[in-house]
């Protein structure tokens, strides 16, 4: 994977290349960014840049990657890995012998406690090749559905980075590099590393010569402070709506209007943008309309049936549905302020919904509904029971719309 294949992140790419060229790279980096920002693809592209034979960071060109001398290194102005040399070819297939990966994995059965990332390396390569912007839930679900080794009771298994994995990392990095001048370990989601991660502290602080750790994380608070303090922070910002829009037009040949609409809903999360693309909005808008009609008619038996169906969708689709509902409400509020000659900036399909919701309830009620939807998304992310959650929302929305009651017991 080359830098030019990564969506946007120009500042980050420039900063990383500058760290290498000016000999200012730490032995351990923390790539920190929210879901869907592309932190993992950036890490893989950076690894390819360092391992590329054309970039050739041998000691004749620079004393070291890690600022171990005071001499000024020769600056090599290659902006990207070549993508053609054997090293680049191997990294692009995730099979380079000096590039190692560590990530949450699942215990196969109760008899085997020794869980290693390398047990699932084939699945990992397939997963990353398909879509490197996916999240950890996608990865664990992919493992449960596609693992070559049968995982006992897979549905109830939780991902983990184990003490055995830490031992395996220490062993792999103690070996000499096979083909390159450098060894690189990319650890994805170090949040899944418990106290056993303290076994890696000395290795991170005093690694073998020419060894680079790259931790790729979403939640800084969930990482062991002892590990956090030993890393150089590289912040990966979320995408702007304009960047997602441009990428959707370029990669998926969408119209400008459609791409802008998806970019607005996804809020900087490229993974979510692709999820929206895969789930037709007409279906989601129809679901919103059905839900509101059932709420207004107070048809309890039909409400329960609808709740049963939405509960089967899974967490990610439920979150997507609620975010789309919020987007529709935002369009309704926007429509209140737009003059008639400017109303066309709202897509026609959403314009009709905006007019209807504005007749149904006022702006204050809409804002209250959006607050409830935001809270519901928060609870879904923390494994709230979906039937209870949607049932609660149904009751709340009835009182907000029908009774104009905005103060509810939480």
End-to-end CA distance of the chain: 48
217 with 69, same domain? yes
The pLDDT, as a whole number, for residue 389 is 95
Q: What is the CATH number of the domain that holds 374?
A: 1.20.272
288 with 222, same domain? no
291 with 228, same domain? no
Ranges of residues in the chain whose predicted pLDDT is under 50: 58-63, 69-77, 155, 406-410
> Looking at the domain assignment, is residue 332 inside a domain?
yes
**Which residues are 187's β-sheet partners?**
102, 215
> Looking at the domain assignment, is residue 254 inside a domain?
no
26 with 125, same domain? yes
> Looking at the domain assignment, is residue 274 inside a domain?
no
Residue that is last in its domain, among 235, 258, 287: 235
The two three-digit tokens of residue 225, written as one number: 């402070």
Q: What is the CATH number of the domain that holds 72?
A: 3.40.50.300
299 with 216, same domain? no
List, for residues 200-219, the tens digit of each pLDDT value: 898 888 888 889 999 999 99
Q: How far is CA 393 from CA 296, 312, 369, in A?
A: 13, 17, 9
The pLDDT, as a whole number, for residue 410 is 38
List, for residues 322-342, the tens digit of each pLDDT value: 988 998 898 888 888 776 666
The pLDDT, as a whole number, for residue 72 is 47
The pLDDT, as a whole number, for residue 347 is 73
What is the rounded distance in angstroms from the CA atom of residue 17 to the CA atom of residue 76? Answer: 10
Give this prediction's pTM. 0.80
The two three-digit tokens of residue 223, written as one number: 């990482």
Residue that is last in its domain, among 235, 264, 290: 235
> Looking at the domain assignment, is residue 64 inside a domain?
yes
The pLDDT, as a whole number, for residue 74 is 46
Q: How far is CA 144 from CA 38, 44, 117, in A?
A: 24, 24, 14
The pLDDT, as a whole number, for residue 151 is 60
25 with 141, same domain? yes
The pLDDT, as a whole number, for residue 377 is 92
Q: What is the secondary structure of 251-284 as a DSSP string? A: HH---HHHHHHHHHHHTT-HHHHHHHHHS-HHHH
What is the rounded distance in angstroms from the CA atom of residue 221 to the CA atom of residue 394? Answer: 34
**Which residues are 102's β-sheet partners?**
187
Residue that is last in its domain, among 235, 269, 287: 235
> Looking at the domain assignment, is residue 102 inside a domain?
yes
Q: What are phi and psi of 285, to 5 degrees?
A: -65, -35
The pLDDT, as a whole number, for residue 78 is 75
Residues spanned by the domain of 197? 3-235
- Total tally of structural domains belonging to the chain: 2
């Amino acid at each position: 994977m080359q830098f030019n294949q990564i969506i946007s992140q120009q500042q980050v790419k420039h900063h990383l290349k500058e760290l290498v060229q000016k000999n200012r790279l730490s032995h351990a980096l923390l790539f920190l960014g929210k879901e869907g920002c592309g932190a993992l693809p950036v890490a893989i592209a950076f690894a390819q840049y360092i391992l590329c034979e054309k970039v050739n960071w041998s000691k004749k060109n620079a004393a070291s990657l890690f600022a171990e001398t005071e001499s000024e290194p020769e600056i090599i102005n290659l902006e990207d890995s070549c993508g053609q040399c054997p090293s680049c070819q191997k990294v692009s297939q995730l099979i380079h012998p000096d590039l190692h990966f560590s990530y949450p994995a699942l215990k196969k059965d109760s008899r085997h406690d020794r869980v290693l990332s390398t047990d699932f390396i084939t699945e990992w390569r397939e997963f990353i090749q398909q879509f490197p912007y996916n999240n950890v839930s996608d990865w664990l679900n992919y493992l449960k559905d596609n693992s070559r080794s049968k995982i006992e009771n897979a549905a109830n298994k939780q991902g983990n980075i184990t003490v055995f994995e830490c031992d395996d990392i220490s062993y792999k990095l103690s070996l000499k590099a096979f083909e390159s001048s450098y060894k690189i370990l990319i650890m994805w989601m170090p949040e899944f590393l418990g106290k056993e991660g303290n076994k890696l502290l000395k290795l991170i602080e005093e690694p073998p010569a020419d060894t680079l750790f790259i931790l790729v994380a979403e939640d800084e608070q969930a990482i062991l402070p002892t590990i956090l303090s030993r890393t150089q922070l590289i912040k990966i910002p979320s995408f702007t709506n304009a960047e997602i829009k441009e990428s959707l037009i370029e990669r998926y040949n969408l119209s400008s209007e459609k791409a802008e609409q998806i970019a607005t809903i996804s809020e900087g999360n490229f993974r979510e943008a692709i999820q929206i693309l895969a789930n037709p909005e007409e279906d989601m808008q129809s679901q919103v309309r059905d839900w509101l009609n059932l709420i207004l008619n107070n048809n309890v038996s039909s409400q329960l049936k609808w709740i049963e169906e939405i509960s089967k969708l899974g967490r990610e689709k439920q979150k997507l549905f609620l975010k789309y509902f919020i987007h529709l409400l935002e369009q309704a509020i926007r429509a209140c302020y737009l003059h008639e000659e400017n109303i066309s900036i709202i897509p026609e399909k959403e314009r009709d919904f905006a007019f209807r919701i504005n007749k149904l309830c006022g702006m204050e009620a809409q804002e209250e509904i959006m607050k409830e939807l935001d809270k519901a998304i928060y609870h879904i992310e923390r494994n709230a029971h979906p039937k209870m959650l949607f049932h609660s929302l149904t009751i709340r929305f009835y009182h907000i719309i029908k009774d104009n009651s905005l103060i509810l017991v939480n």
